[in-house]
Structure 1
Amino acid sequence: MMLIVLGGLPGTGKTTIARLLAQRLNAVHLRVDTIEQALRSSGMLKADVGPAGYIVAYRLAEDNLRLGRTVVADCVNPLAVTRDAWLSVGQSHSTNIMEVEVICSDTTEHRRRVEARTADIEGLQQPSWQDVVDRHYESWSRSPIRIDTAISSAEQAVDDLVDLLAGRGLRA
């Protein structure tokens, strides 16, 4: 059992990698976009979702870790406070945590991906390229594992992560 947290800007390939990794490890895939859109679609919110999606995701991760399941969290994770919260979730369950930042170093390719994306969650409005460029995204204070999808396919990234886990003597 472990907690694997994938973070990075929209359009870098986080969800593709998270899905493949969760399948490969027979893990729970928690996608914050899905949670946030479900909250919006409920009609119960009087304001923006704010941190609610992350808070729900933390609790769902805790429930699954308590059951002995490996969790793959899929979120932008743009702030030190959200990264620290994920770390706290893992520590509170005495589980290994792997922080992974997914980037796309090729700006032209990243923009193409963002502009070509279609929503796979009903009602979810995809961010524009300008939204991605303007997004507040803090530098990481810890050193996450970094995957650059401009030079590595999603399948290769998953292979590399699984090999890294094995090399560290960790089993998901």
Structure 2
Amino acid sequence: MIIPEFNQSEKSIFLIPVFSYNFGVWSNNFRLSVEKTLRALALTDQTTAAPVLIVLSGLPGTGKSYLARRLTQRLPCVVVESDLVRKVISDSQPSYSSAESAYVHHVARAVMQRLLESGHHVISDATNLAEWHRELLYHLADKTNARLIIVQTIAPDHVVRERLQRRLENHDPVDLSDADWNVHESLKAELEPIRRAYLVVDTSQDLEPAICKILRAAQ
């Protein structure tokens, strides 16, 4: 397993949040967070000269992580999951504050940039609800010459509610999200239209046709 080296150009694509300590301390902590996250990821040894960035977008419980896991069975991808990044950098004690969330996304994008520049296919597994947030990922794909594939996951409300309830009752170590139905409902107001070409996947249906479509787009 080869961990990509830190590239100084990475910081050019990130909005730097303002913290109470100086930039030098922030920069060092940021670098350490990126390295720590890379060590926690399931990296593949397979690389390519034509990497793909698959951006998943959807509310909690709509099946993003499940779809990501299914895709990795057919395409050698590294999944950068925001929930994993959050728990890695907070030592499994996340605060879910706005500052922490901003930092999580900065770290995730830096990790994705390093992976793409090293020739890894990457899946961004996060809600990615706001277009301005997705635009940072579009820019990342352009910057790294990666093919961009955007996938919006959906599912009927009753299916989502059942999934989230099951998540609370039967903790799956593979499922790192803490979101419940209330979080799902509160985030609906943040869901913005996607202004690029994208695929819609209803994860309550058979996923095979959607997976085949994504794989064709990745070729």
Measured against the shorter chain, the TM-score band is 0.7 to 0.9
Q: For residues 185 and 138 of structure 2, what CA distance do their matches in structure 1 show?
A: 27
1:3 maps to a residue whose letter is: L
How far did 1:61 drift?
1.0
Partner of 1:85: 136
Whether 1:41 and 2:95 are equivalent positions in the alignment is no
Q: For residues 94 and 150 of structure 2, what CA distance do their matches in structure 1 show?
A: 32
Residue of structure 2 aligned with 1:133, choices 185, 201, 207: 185
Q: What is the TM-score with the length of structure 2 in the denominator?
A: 0.67
How far did 1:155 drift?
4.0
Cα distance change, pair 114–156 in 1 and its aligned pair in 2 (3 A): farther
Q: What is the TM-score with the length of structure 1 in the denominator?
A: 0.83
* Cα-Cα RMSD: 2.5
- Which one has more relative contact order, counting CA pairs under 8 Å at least 6 apart? 1
Cα distance change, pair 59–111 in 1 and its aligned pair in 2 (3 A): same
Identity among equivalent pairs (%) = 26
How far did 1:24 drift?
1.2
Partner of 1:108: 158
Task: Report the secondary structure of 2:178's partner residue.
Answer: coil
- Flag structure 1 segments of 5+ consecutive residues without an equivalent: none
Aligned length: 164
* Contact preservation (8 Å) 1:64, 1:71: yes
Residue of structure 2 aligned with 1:24, choices 74, 82, 85: 74
Moved more, 39-48 or 126-135: 39-48
Q: For residues 121 and 81 of structure 1, what CA distance do their matches in structure 2 show?
A: 31
- Which of the pair has more CA radius of gyration? 2
Q: For residues 112 and 44 of structure 1, what CA distance do their matches in structure 2 show?
A: 25
Task: Report the secondary structure of 1:117's partner residue.
Answer: helix
Residue of structure 2 aligned with 1:96, choices 147, 158, 181: 147
Partner of 1:158: 211
- Flag structure 2 segments of 5+ consecutive residues without an equivalent: 1-50
Moved more, 132-141 or 72-81: 132-141
Partner of 2:200: 146
1:54 maps to a residue whose letter is: H
